[in-house]
Amino acid sequence: MATATGNSGVVKLVTDGGTLAAVGEVRSFSIEETRDTIESTVMGDTERTYLAGQGTSTVSVECYWDSADVGQQDADDSVRSSEKIDFEILPNGAGTGKKYSGEGFVTSKSVNVASDGMVECSLSIQVSGAVTEADA
């Protein structure tokens, strides 16, 4: 299994149905996929048992804020209008490794400002449906 560095990663966003655009100034991103469990233990069992439940996924993006960036503007549009947003995440950069894609809603966006630092932006996307994994 090959390891990779994160300096080539790409995040692309677009409000539902448009053309994906790379988000500029990305510092970090993450995809979290979780699955609920449903307890199925019955009397007489000595250990708890479980069945797989529903899954959910979230995408988080940290970047330097750029009001002219098309990808960041699409995130702004999504959080303000409740419009779905499509995403594509390429951890190793365009054309290499895996890509993760899906759609969802921007559930939070914050712009953080410090007097001694860069203006930063944080985005959270609640994925609607499954995250699709494919070769980049």
Q: Which of 109, 120, 121 is nearest to 82 (CA)?
A: 109
As a whole number, the mean pLDDT across the chain is: 92
Rounded CA-CA distance 4/130 in Å is 24
C-beta of residue 63 within 8 angstroms of C-beta of residue 30 = no
pLDDT tens-digit profile of 67-84?
Answer: 899 889 888 888 888 899
DSSP label at 131?
P
Q: What is the structure's pLDDT at 96?
A: 81
pLDDT band, very low/low/confident/very high, at 112 (cuts 50, 70, 90): very high
Q: What is the structure's pLDDT at 15?
A: 84
For the domain with range 6-36+54-135, which CATH number is right: 4.10.410.40, 3.30.750.24, 3.20.20.60, 1.10.150.120?
A: 4.10.410.40
Rounded CA-CA distance 1/32 in Å is 21
Work out the end-to-end distance of the chain between its first and last CA atoms, rounded to an integer number of angstroms: 17
Q: What is the structure's pLDDT at 136?
A: 84
Q: What are phi and psi of 4, to 5 degrees?
A: -145, 155
- Taking phi over 0 as left and psi of -120 to 50 as alpha, with beta for the rest, 73 belongs to alpha
> Is 90 exceeded by the pLDDT of residue 3?
no
Q: What is the structure's pLDDT at 18?
A: 84
> Is 90 exceeded by the pLDDT of residue 33?
yes
Range 96-113 average pLDDT: 93
